[in-house]
Structures are given as structure tokens and as C-alpha cells.
Amino acid sequence: MPTPSRFLFVLLLVGLLASSAQARLSETLSEIKKRYDSPAAQTRDNATWLFEGEDGQLVYTVTFDAKGRSIAEGFKPVKRARFTKENALGFIETQLAPYHDSKTLRIIPAGEKYRFAGQDFVCDPNEYVVLDEPRGLLLIWSQVVNPAVMVVAPEMFHRGN
């Protein structure tokens, strides 16, 4: 990739991963657009941003509730793009920034059972899971063949009910 394109990608990625420390979940589309401009695709319930780099294309997706607030966000590679540890950790740090002072935030060890939004789960050995049930946060970094990081609010599990 030519140096100017690489530089622009780095700027976009830094903007995506190191923006303000406000909570991501519960933001509106207009608040997110202030950071990332207009999405590549948008419906009433979802918005998608694409970021191109030397390792391929990465996609950032957001799901909104009926009030227009974010209830789920994800970051992953598209097709054969490479999803680096730095990509995942940057997204995780941005998502967890508002929770650093939380006394209820915890990392779930592999194999441990946990509960979120009234449902029971088990942390897979290929996952990194961060939970703050009282504050409504579940973050999962899946490190399998199709890696991805997602963060969800309890409302995501109650859609359509």
C-alpha cells in the first residue's frame, strides 16, 4: 500500500479505536456519525462502517433499539482480511474505557459459567469475555477462524419479545 493510503488508514483506525471515552452502548446514530462520518450502509435498526487497510477491509457494525440507541456493536474482518490483536485490543479498550472504575467488571476465565440478560453462558477457550452484569455490558472477543469482537447490552437479547 502506498504510504499516503497507509497513513489515512492509520488515522481512520486511530479515530475508530481511540476516540472519546464515553460509553459506546446507548449512543445514537448521530453521535456515532460525529466520529466516523456517514455509514457505508444503514437501516432503521443497523449501521455499518467499512475501513480499508493493508491487511484488508474491517467492518464496524451497530445495532439500535426502537429508541435509536446502540444496543450492540461489533468489529471484525471482511472475507480474507487479517484481524490483528491490535485491532481487537483497540476496540476493547475503547468499549471498556467508561467501565474502568467499575467494581463489578470482571474477566471470565475459560470454561467458567456466567449469566447475562437472564441467560446462562460458558466462556469458550477461544474467547476473551468481559462482563459487567449490573451495568449491562457483555464483551466477547472470539479468537477463532473468523475472529470478531462484540459488545452487547441486555436489550439485545430481548428484541422482538
The domain locations on the chain are 3-158
- pLDDT tens, the chain, 161 aa long: 444 334 333 334 444 444 433 347 889 999 999 888 899 999 989 999 998 888 899 999 999 999 999 999 999 999 889 999 999 999 999 899 989 899 999 999 999 999 999 999 999 999 999 999 999 999 999 999 889 999 999 999 987 65
d(CA 92, CA 114): 19
Q: Are 150 and 127 in contact (CB under 8 A)?
A: no
Instruction: Measure CA 6 to chain center.
Output: 23
* Residue 50 CB partners (closer than 8 Å, separation 6+): 40, 57, 58, 59, 60, 78
Here the cell at position 65 is 433499539
The three-point CA angle 8-11-13 to 5° equals: 110
Question: What is the predicted pLDDT for the residue at 55?
Answer: 85
SS3 123: coil
d(CA 9, CA 51): 7
d(CA 131, CA 87): 20
